[in-house]
Structure formats: C-alpha cells, structure tokens
Amino acid sequence: MDLIKEIKKKSNAYYKRLVEVRRHLHANPELSFKEKNTSAFVKQVLNEFKIPYTDGYCKYGIVAEIKGSKKGDVIYLRGDMDALPIKETNNVDYKSKVEGVMHACGHDVHTTCVLGAAIILNELKKHIKGSIKIIFQPGEEKLPGGASIMIKEGAIKNPKKSKILAQHVHPPLEVGKVGFHAGEYMASADEIYLEIIGKGGHAALPSNFIDTILVASQVVSALHTVVSRFSDPKVPTVLSFGKIFSDGGATNIIPEKVHILGTLRTMDEANRVKLHKVIKKLVQNTVKSYGAKAKVNIKYGYPTLYNDIGLTESSISHAQDFLGSKNVVMLEKRMTAEDFSYFSQMMPACFYRLGTGNKAKNITSPVHTSTFNIDERAIKVGTGLMAYLALKNSQ
C-alpha cells in the first residue's frame, strides 16, 4: 500500500467533516482548565468512530489509544484545547459565541487535526507497530500548564519507550507548508513579581520619605544589566518588564509601595537558575542603597522546549516525502514558551509549525489577536501529515 496516497485520500474524504468540527470548536471556545464542553465534544467524536480512550486527566484531559497489529513502542500525538480571553472581531459564520473568549491561538485547529489523525490511524491499524496515543490537553495557556498536570496524574505510562509529536498553527507560513527546528526551539518563561516598599508621603517633601517611584526606576535600570553582564552570551535570553503600578496614588503623593511585573526567558536551565539568583541579589542591593525594602517572587513557568535531533530529522524527511521538499522549511529559535516542553523533558519530542496563512486571501493576522483566522485547507495538511508522521515514526 502507498501510505502517502492512502492517507491523503482519507484526509480529503474527512476534510468537510473536520472543517465542521473545527468551526464548532471555534464558535464554542472555553478558557484554560474550563474545557468541559470541548472535552465532551471530543469524546462524542471518538465514540462515533469507536476509538477507545481514558479521561479525567487534569479534569477534562483525554488520552485516546489506537493499538497496532504488532508489538512496539508508543507514539503520542498532542493537541491542546483551551482558548484565550480575547473578544473576536472576525466577521465569519463560526465567530465565537462566547463573549470575550476566542480561539485566537489555533487550539481549535490543533484539536481538530489530532482528532482527524486519530480517525485515519484507526482505519490503518495494521500498519501501526506498537500503539499511537492521542492526548487532548486542557490549559496550555495558563500556568502551571495542563501538560504538567496530566503528567503528574499518569497520562504518560512509559516515557522510556515513547516519542511525542505536536504541531502549532503558524500564520507567517503559507498554507501547505510546515516548519521545523531541531534542538532547543522555545524558551523557558518565568514570571517576575517585585514589590518595592518605601515610606509614602507628600511629594513636596521627598527628603522626608523613601521614594518608591525612584527606587523602582533604579531597580528596572539595574535589572537591564542582567542579560548583558550576567547571562551567558551564547544563550538566547530576554528579561523584560510589562507593568509598573502603585497602590492608589496621585500626582502629589509618593506611594508606599510600587509593583513591578516582568518575564525572564532563556534556553538553558543552568543559566535560568543562575539568573534567578542574580535578579534577587540585584533587587535587594539596589533597594537597600535607598533605604527601601523589596519582596521578590519569581514563579517558574514552562521549561525550554527541546526538539529531539533524531526524531526531528526523521520527521523532516517524512514531511518532505509527504508534502514535497519545497513545502518543508527550517525555522529559527523562538523566545515564546509552550508547556509541550514538559513532554519534551520526558521523551524524544518534535514540535513543528503548520502553515495556516494565505496572503492572497488576506489571512495573515498573528495568533493572540482578535482577527486571527486560518486558511482551513491547513486542516487537511495538518491531519494527514500528523497521521503519516505517527505511522512512520512507529515503524
């Protein structure tokens, strides 16, 4: 049997149905860890096609399983299900029905594609060596991340004999194309919460008080030396601050407290740990010189996402066979983060990008925007390729 021809035939046959699935999910988005109806809908489709599953992981997570005819290892496919707190402004029939909630990161597409892959793989069991398990994951967009919770609750049974694949929509790539990057691909992402504590009072008498606004500005300036003077220059690293605010306040009041919120991102775990210590030390030393105090809280976020070299290179080769070499591109590292990284710490992993853009049709809006949408032909590509990669990597 020509597997490529057979999978493409099945992808075409199920395309209309999968577009309906995606549009249903898009119109009925649910926020992180609240995917009750999404989970129920996924199980409804799995039941329809008689695909067995276990559920209840992280409350709404599901793991479907398709057992092959021969003994072998496990290939996991992962699709995330949660939406974002964004008000959709697209004028489409399947526009979000939920006020202020939107599938603006393509998780409706991810869920649809792994469902489609499961349907196809279920019809090609005799070609599977071992088993293929499909993870429908809640809560990718919100710490601590649904992946970490599903792992803790036993969704992954034998990581030493497993591999895992996932794809993510990518508007900059035209539909029909996919992108890969082997090795470190996405950064760890930690949240920084600083509280500067001084002595508030009338702004006309600053010498009588401890000016938290001034101290906060000095703290931010000092912390901007972290990357340039303390981080390994060979390791991609970013430290940025997104919010500064005081408790109450007016033009003529020096506030008692000022809060600073930021993010640290890097691609090396040793560098990550080191910079946490540097940040804490710099903050305390800076505020001390002004007679102020500080509370420093750095919340560990998602770790670095590492794409296994061997699995990624084999997946690139298989993708070239499936789509043609011109439609498989190499991507740069990204400083964004993904909780798929937790899976990549356990077993060989490959996280690649699915082209969803179409410049000719003006489908170009980035993810996490109110106008994000896809060229729905990407569903056919994503479904077929994921099924093919699962089969080839299981053999």
pLDDT band at 286 (very low <50, low <70, confident <90, very high): very high
Please count the other Cβ atoms lying within 10 Å of the Cβ belonging to residue 328: 21
Q: Is residue 220 within 8 Å of residue 241, measured between CB atoms?
A: yes
Q: Is residue 199 within 8 Å of residue 213, measured between CB atoms?
A: no
User: If you average pLDDT over every residue of the chain, what do you get?
Assistant: 97
Residue tagged active-site, from 35, 82, 268, 338: 82
Instruction: Please list, in sequence order, all residues whose beta carbon lies within 8 angstroms of the beta carbon of residue 234, skipping any fewer than 6 positions away.
Output: none
Q: What would the DSSP string read from start to end of 167-213?
A: EEEEEEEETT-EEE--EEEE-EEEEEEEEEE-B-EETT-GGGSB-HH
Per-residue pLDDT tens over the stretch 321-365 = 999 999 999 999 999 999 999 999 999 999 999 999 999 999 999
pLDDT band at 248 (very low <50, low <70, confident <90, very high): confident
Going by their DSSP bridges, the two strands 70-80 and 162-174 should be labelled as parallel
Please count the other Cβ atoms lying within 10 Å of the Cβ belonging to residue 336: 15
Place of tokens 């809908």: 41
Domains and CATH numbers, the chain: 3-184+304-394 (3.40.630.10), 188-299 (3.30.70.360)
DSSP at 230: I
Cα–Cα distance measured from residue 356 to residue 375, given in angstroms and rounded to the nearest whole number: 5
Residue 298 corresponds to which tokens in the numbers above?
């750095």
Handedness of CA 123, 68, 81, 110 (dihedral sign): negative
Q: Is residue 161 within 8 Å of residue 76, measured between CB atoms?
A: no
Residue 6 host element (H or E): helix 3-27
Place of tokens 């919010």: 243
Residue tagged active-site, from 140, 174, 190, 338: 140
20 belongs to the catalytic site:
no
Structure confidence at residue 65 (pLDDT): 98
Full-prediction pTM beyond 0.75? yes
82 belongs to the catalytic site:
yes
Structure confidence at residue 26 (pLDDT): 99
Cα–Cα distance measured from residue 218 to residue 160, given in angstroms and rounded to the nearest whole number: 48
Per-residue pLDDT tens over the stretch 201-216 = 999 999 999 999 999 9
Q: Is residue 118 within 8 Å of residue 66, measured between CB atoms?
A: yes
Per-residue pLDDT tens over the stretch 79-111 = 999 999 999 999 999 999 999 999 999 999 999
- Rounded to an integer, the average pLDDT of 226-250 is 95
DSSP at 63: E
Per-residue pLDDT tens over the stretch 101-157 = 999 999 999 999 999 999 999 999 999 999 999 999 999 999 999 999 999 999 999
Residue 374 host element (H or E): none
